[in-house]
A and B are shown apart, each in its own frame.
Chain A
Amino acid sequence: MLTDIMLFLERLPGIFKGAGELGIIYAVLALGVFISFRTLNTPDLTVDGSFVLGTAASAVLAATGHPYLSLIAAFLMGSMAGCVTSLLNTKLGIQPLLSGILVMLGLYSVNLRVMGGRPNIPISRDSTIFSIPLLEPLGDYKELALSLIILVIILALLSLFLNTRFGYVLRATGDNEGMVRAAGVNTDVTKLCGLAISNGLVALSGAMIAQYQGFSDIGMGTGMVVIGLSSVIIGEVVFGSKPLIRRLTAVALGSVLYRLIISIAFEIGMPPTDLKLVSAVIVAIALSASKIGGGLAKIKKKFTTGEDGGALNA
């Protein structure tokens, strides 16, 4: 027993490093999901497809010797996927959730095409964003450092963007669409831009993951929405949500925390195959937290004062 604990403690730094790396890269995805889920107030299922689109674009382009360019290409391709979802919704009147599902489904074929018909392509270690000579002195920490730099740049750009005149109306669209139209803004445009940026970030995250892990696989996207949502919710609950810059940072930290929880769960014996179930349960609990919380408060009140908890609603 004691030796078990000793062994676990010894592995802890490695667990933290691995979770940190993954958490930081997935934080980009979480920020993308934040934009659709929080600022536009629609859970967007395109994510599962646009994530793989990012991994595919990155794998193909990195092989031609342009790993950095591949990040930009991935962002743009993800944005296009987001645009299609938004247009299906705003121009053809298909429900937001269904629009996302349709694009996700279509992207499966698109992604296979991008990958030249193969379900899995490897990426050479010598041709990734992490393999440039500039990063050599960092040794084992180069993945962590580079991912962190990219994340900080994105956080900065995003918080600047959301505080512009356009950013304001984008954020208000999810809150109160009617009010945004009453302020003279075409909400079709704000939704389009929102989903474009959201899926662009998701694809960018996919591109970085592919280069970090050394391959792109057609099945990598399953459940990415849920992972993004977990990070958003965990982040906001643990690290706070006011003001906006803190909220964005919290979402990024939420992603790292989520990875850490998952890694430790693996360490203490959770089978990797249970990962998706655990993620789904976490999100279900988090989304119902306010309801469960309210219910608990009611019960508590009933027991402590002997009165009906209904007064809480007053």
Chain B
Amino acid sequence: MLELCGVSKTFMKGTANELDALKDVSFTLSQGEFAAIIGGNGSGKSTLLNCISGVYIPDGGSIKLDGEDITYKPEYKRAHAIGRVFQDPLKGTAFDMTIEENLAIAWYKGRPRNLRWGITRKDRELFREKLSRFELGLEDRMKDKAGLLSGGQRQALTLLMAIIVRPKLLLLDEHTAALDPATSRKVLELTKVFVKEEGIPTLMVTHNMKDAIEMSTRILMMNKGKLVLNVSGDDLKGITVDKLVDLFEEKSGEVLDNDRILLG
């Protein structure tokens, strides 16, 4: 369970360019929930995820994961509990290392990085089995460097790396946005099957409102660093894209503006 309480973040504090990227954001994500985050350009979605994962330390408020206060915990110390997939396919893997080596790095998350073999025969079998379930043919390319993979294959690999050790929380930051429509579908499909159905608690930033409505148990909408809408449970039943847009405009008093948002 993830609990955010009054989280705020200001960039370049004390300068003329001071910018409140997050203002008093509070919400709770229960066990097994899948939440979508929607919002305009620069509304603070990525900053929110970066505060939860520890890339940025918030200026105020608290973040709790399964009851433990992780607000000020260094990124690498909370990483074993949090899986992440980024928008940029280059960000998730080490390009000069093979697919299996990348997977091994993720697989030993939370265990000592000592002088034992980086990968064992048993690990390899496990990776092969997991990769084959993705049906991308990656199981036969385990000794290829990650740098040779296409964007979609890389996102799939990163997704597997994020969940291979079941995380307490998964953060997806527009992880299909850089892909062409068909590949994007495929990766989203994998996300549904291996994340949603497995019940891994997830926060997914998306600009596709339809996907958001279809997949989520909770929808969070952001505007200028504020969480303006938090819909879940019964309120989510029968919701449509138009209704969401209306709700957003009613609550924020502004028109939803994001050049990449897909309303259809």
Contact = CB atoms under 8 A, between A and B. Distances in A.
A-side interface mostly = helix
B116 A175 contact: no
A172 B113 contact: no
Interface stretch (A159-167, A259-267, A282-290): A159-167
A181 B80 CA distance: 10
A167 B96 contact: no
Contact of B104 (A168, A175, A186): A168
A95 B106 CA distance: 29
Contact of B79 (A164, A167, A171, A183): A183
Contacts of A167: 118
A182 interface: yes
B97 A164 contact: no
A185 B97 contact: no
B118 to A, nearest CB: 4
Interface string A163-206: 11111110110111011111111110000000000000000000
A126 B84 CA distance: 61
B79 A181 contact: yes
A178 B85 CA distance: 12
Nearest to A168: B118
A162 to B, nearest CB: 8
B92 interface: yes
Contact of B92 (A166, A179, A186): A179
Contacts of B79: 181-185
Nearest to B101: A168
Nearest to A41: B96
A171 B77 CA distance: 20
A172 B94 contact: yes
B94 A179 contact: yes
B105 interface: yes
11 contacts: A164-B114, A164-B115, A164-B118, A165-B108, A171-B97, A172-B94, A176-B90, A179-B105, A182-B79, A183-B106, A184-B110
Given A172-B97, A182-B84, A183-B109, 20 more contacts: A163-B117, A165-B111, A165-B114, A166-B113, A166-B114, A168-B119, A171-B97, A172-B101, A172-B102, A176-B95, A179-B91, A180-B105, A181-B76, A182-B53, A182-B92, A183-B105, A183-B108, A184-B76, A184-B109, A186-B74
